[in-house]
Every structure is written in structure tokens, then in C-alpha cells.
Amino acid sequence: MFKSKTEAMSVKEFMNRDRSHAKPKRKGTAKRVAKVAVVVGITALSIGFGDVSFVAASAIDGAITEKVVAAFNPLIELVKALSYPIGLTMMLGGGVYIMIGNSEKGIGMIQKAGLGYILIQMLPLLMDLLVEIAKSL
């Protein structure tokens, strides 16, 4: 039913066979065209309007900042979500140290875990505040 078709030929015949049906290979022509278009466009803008860096600094800067902040939101939420179980584990470890008689180390662990949890929960708010202050400058 599914027999493969094999064709016997010599090496010379194989090397001289017709390849007109094969697609011609393009070696990076699209990349070259894109590079040339970008260079020509930037050169034309620079000659026509002078320095165009002020456009990138003012109009595009806000959009880039928004996209970067939005891109990091899942990571921030992940760290905030993990802070509770990690903080609880560290506090429980501090309690165990207190139970076995090393109360100084136990209380230190509990304090540091509590402070770390609060900082992790509050730092995104602080960063949002700093971004808003930077935008107003």
C-alpha cells in the first residue's frame, strides 16, 4: 500500500539533474532592504528636520516607560505573592529557635522576616510614587 518509490541513477546524473523547480535562495535581501530603508529614513529626517532626538526623548519616552512597567507587573505580583509564605516560614523558624533556647536569634529572624514582608508589599507603591515624581520633573 505505502511503498516508497526509489529511483536509481548514477552520481553524474544526480549532480546534473534539472533544478529549475527549486526555489531560488535569497541571501539576506530582506534584511539589507530593511537596513537601507532605516538608514535612508534617519538620514532624511536628520537633514530635513535637524536633530530628531528631542522627539524620541519626549513623545516616545512615556510610552516606553509605561510598557516597561507593565512588562514587570507579573514579576512584581509573583514576588509579592511569594513574600507571605516565605515570611511565614522564616517566622516559624524564628519560633523554633526561641523554643530551643536561642531566643536572640529567633527574635531577630522574626523581626527581619516581618520587616522584609512589609518592605516587599510596600516597595511597588514607593516605586510608583517615584515614577510619578520623575514624570513631573
| pLDDT per position as a tens digit, 116-137 | 999 999 998 888 888 788 777 7
Does the pLDDT at position 85 exceed 80? Answer: yes
Q: How confident is the model at residue 2 (pLDDT cuts 50, 70, 90)?
A: low
Q: What is the pTM of this model?
A: 0.51
Domain locations along the chain = 55-136
Cell of 137: 520633573
- Burial (0-12, 13-18, 19+ Cβ within 10 Å), 57: exposed
Q: Is a pLDDT exceeding 90 seen at residue 96? A: yes
The grid cell for 120 is 516587599
Distance CA 96, CA 102 (A): 9
Stretch 78-101: mean pLDDT = 95
Of residues 39 and 78, which shows the higher confidence score? 78
Contact 119, 82 (CB under 8 A): no
Residues 44-56 have a mean pLDDT of 56
- The predicted structure's pLDDT at residue 118: 95
pLDDT for residue 83: 94
Find the range with the poorest average confidence among 18-22, 52-56, 70-74.
52-56
Helix 103-136 / helix 61-99 crossing angle, nearest 10 deg: 170
